[in-house]
Structure 1
Amino acid sequence: MTGLGLPIFDKAIQDANRWVNDVMDELDWEDKHRAFTLLRSTLHVLRDRLQVNESAHFAAQLPTLMRGVFYEGYQPSRSAPLIRHKDEFVDAVMAAFNDAPKDNPATIVGAALDVIADHISEGEMDDVKASLPKEIRDLWY
């Protein structure tokens, strides 16, 4: 018997926890909620910066639960603020925090982007990065 009764649900939870744990490991954080907040906010800012078709291609590679997080609150017909610069991208991600982590914000966002890239095919990440201004692409290590 599985934890929730359906193996697909259990796998979705395991996959999401793996992503959150990877963020925690990357940043040496112990707060799972903070790591999830960073991951969620990074996915949302990235989603809102991508063209609709590129968002869909990217989301298709996300695990089930992370895909739900990615699309949470998504309104493709709504114009998101156009983010062209690294600092704007970082500020948009960090806006999700009531109390900003004490680390360098660009390093924090870069770590989240690296974790995301570790779980997505290299080809898709190349497509995502190619659709972003160079200054934002520089957030990836």
Structure 2
Amino acid sequence: MSDTGLQVFDRTLHTTHIWLDEIMEDTQVSRQTAWHELGAVLRCLRDRLPLPLAVNLGAQLPLLIRGSYYERWQPSDQPDRIRTREEFLQQIDDELAKTSQETDTTDAVRAVFATLSTHVDPGQIDKVKEVLPKPIRALW
């Protein structure tokens, strides 16, 4: 018997916990903070990508994580013109400031990027990295 009664929900919960465990291990934060880090980094990355690439990346994310990825999305405003590492990190830091636990934004970005690299098709990751400015790509 499944926890939720729906296999698709059980699978996405299980996968989401795996992703969060990896981020927690890398950043030494709580599960709740890891969830906020994952969402903040994914949304900032999404907003920096050209529309077709953002959609293709989103399609490869687990269902629950995909919901966070698309939260508050305004496709007509994309891609964001963030060019520097500092601007990219500041946008994430602004969103993470709402969480209760202190977090190192650079560590959070690296942990989320590492998790993406582990679980998303390598060809898709290469396409994402290719369109990022070098200072942001260097965080990967």
Identify the residue that residue 51 of structure 1 maps to in structure 2.
50
| Pair 1:101-2:99 in alignment | no
| Comparing 42-51 and 65-74, the one that deviates more | 65-74
Letter in 2 for 1:18: I
Identify the residue that residue 23 of structure 2 maps to in structure 1.
23
Identify the residue that residue 116 of structure 2 maps to in structure 1.
116
SS class of match (1:90): helix
Percent sequence identity over matched residues? 33
The CA deviation at 1:38 is: 0.4
Is the alpha carbon distance of 1:78 and 1:32 closer, same or farther for their aligned partners in structure 2, counting shifts above 3 Å? same
Q: Which one has a larger percent helix, Structure 1 or Structure 2? A: 2
SS class of match (1:77): helix
Post-superposition, which runs of at least 4 consecutive aligned residues in structure 1 deviate over 6 A?
Answer: none
TM-score normalised by length of structure 2: 0.90
Letter in 1 for 2:6: L
TM-score normalised by length of structure 1: 0.90
- Is the Cα–Cα contact under 8 Å of residues 94 and 100 in structure 1 kept in the other structure? no
The CA deviation at 1:107 is: 2.7
Identify the residue that residue 60 of structure 1 maps to in structure 2.
59
Structure 2 CA distance, aligned partners of 1:57 and 1:130?
14
Letter in 1 for 2:70: Y
| Pair 1:89-2:88 in alignment | yes
Structure 1 CA distance, aligned partners of 2:103 and 2:57?
30
